Amino acid sequence: MRVGLLTGGGDVPGLNAAIRAVVKRGEGEHGHSIIGFRNGWKGVVDGDVMPMGRQHIRNVLPTGGTLLGTARFHPHASDGGLDAVLATLEAERIEALICIGGDGTLHAASKVAEAGVKVVGIPKTIDNDVWGTDASIGFDTAVSIATEAIDRIHTTAESHNRVMIVEVMGRTAGWIAVTSGIAGGAELVLAPEDPFDIDKVVKFLKHRHRAHASFSILVVAEGAVPAEGTSMHYETQVGKFGEIVAGAIGERLKVEIEQRTGFDTRVTVLGHTQRGGIPTAADRILASRFGVAAIDAVTAGTTNVMTAIRGEEVVLVPIQEIAGKVKHVPQDLLTVARALA
């Protein structure tokens, strides 16, 4: 078979491990030809192809990013996009398509599947918000990076008697904020799932600094917002493509906390450092398992599904079931974060 392969949306550590697994298993075990598309769905629309063989995947396991390139582009949202996808796949004689991406890329995959293309999805996102899977490629690395940053900020916070705000990614789900906050020992964690009351935040900080500590660390997801009816009025700041402006909520919290407490407060925005660098062993293993499962599914004729990890088992779930859904942080994990303040 001729199997297409793309990586779409934001880059994450571990993508190259998934690409490597698809190519090695597909070419070596099943005898398929793997055809890569550069820059995600845009490459499919433009017909920008890159035949993939073993020579392309040597020594890629420790490398971050994606050797295929990526872009935030969804063909179903572009005039003539789906028609262009179908034309390219026909011209390249692609019999099935493996799409590695987050909620946007996989939602596009569901639209392409509806048009008659055989599709297998692989979930990747540092936000860990793809519904139907316990974990997505890139999440473990991002949490490790954020946790290390919090560990490092502890010493300077204590040395200078400061409130330190660490802003992490998480537009609609606070997985990175909550898990890194717990692992890094943050005093407060603010996540989109649990709108905050600035008065309670300030009261907590004042009590902590008066009672037993001269510093505090607050971890906030970029998509965190104040609760309706509370004394802080804030609208999420977005850019021209709908992306949340990095640092916006962190800087606003800094101003609010300093004005209300008088405490010296600083902000560290981790931003794209969470996406970069060497993937953890866990992400390499998860990506490799997903890649093998995806090409095996194509070979078996099982398509229009997404690979998922549930417990210790890799399973296949219908791609239509996950399209457009968001996996939020569960209440029990939010409770743990609050309990350890």
- Report the binding-site residues for ATP: 10, 72-73, 102-105
List residues forming the annotated binding site for substrate.
125-127, 162, 169-171, 222, 266, 272-275
Active site residues: 127
CB 224 within 8 A of CB 249: yes
Cβ-in-10-Å burial (0-12, 13-18, 19+) of 226 comes to: buried
CA angle in degrees (0–180, nearest 5) for 240-244-247: 120
What contacts 61, CB < 8 A, 6 or more positions away? 16, 17, 20, 279, 284
Cβ-in-10-Å burial (0-12, 13-18, 19+) of 169 comes to: buried
